[in-house]
Amino acid sequence: MSDSLILKEIKEYYWDQPVPFLVEQLPRLRNGRALDLAMGEGRNAVYLAEQGFTVDAVDLSEKAVRKGMALAHGRGVSINGIVADLDHYRIPPDRYDLICCFFFLARPLFSEIAKGLRPGGALVYQSVTTEELKINPTFRREWCLEQNELLHAFRDLRILVYHESSLRGTTSHSALASLLAIRPDSSEPIGR
């Protein structure tokens, strides 16, 4: 499957609807300030704003951030859209009640993500695993999570949900690692 077909398939999913894993986890999340990393066209950021979160949403693409802000405006909510390269983005420590990242692998930010959570804050992360390469060999391996990688990367957090799904036929972006984790009480240190 070519990259353009994969992007078309992903875009046709429900670009204006939130990722199902986020919706499933919402009842477990404390409302407050949220950060959506690699927001794309804003579907998850807008959903969180609709649920009462104050949302900072970051993406490299100025066009995507504009689309996300327009989607928010059209739905009667607002998000703080930030155009930034996540390779150089710094997450303020102890700032967020929720940090989410979907279909983007931000390994250099893993430590900052954990530290960016307030005590009791949640991380919701979901991205493709190396299983993706079986149906899409042109997809870059460095964009894929290794087996149990998220589980190990966020072991200092309290893991509430962790699941790795297998490929569903030839559906791109169906082999996923999904994580919901909570930052422990402030008396427990984060990071090594």
Q: How far apart are CA 124 and CA 27, in angstroms?
A: 12
Q: Which residues pair with 158 in a beta bridge?
A: 182
The CA–CA distances, whole Å, from 167 to 87, 137, 178 equal: 29, 14, 14
Length of the chain: 192
Contact criterion met (CB below 8 Å) for 125 and 101: yes
User: pTM for this structure?
Assistant: 0.88
Phi-psi region of 93 (alpha: psi -120 to 50; beta: other; left: phi over 0): beta
pLDDT digits (tens, 9 = 90+) for 92-140: 999 999 999 999 998 999 999 999 999 999 999 999 999 988 888 888 9
pLDDT digits (tens, 9 = 90+) for 84-96: 999 999 999 999 9
Give residue limits of the domains in the chain: 32-86
- Sorted by sequence, the CB contacts under 8 Å of residue 104 that are 6+ apart come out as 37, 38, 86, 127
The DSSP element (H or E) to which 23 belongs, if any, is helix 20-25
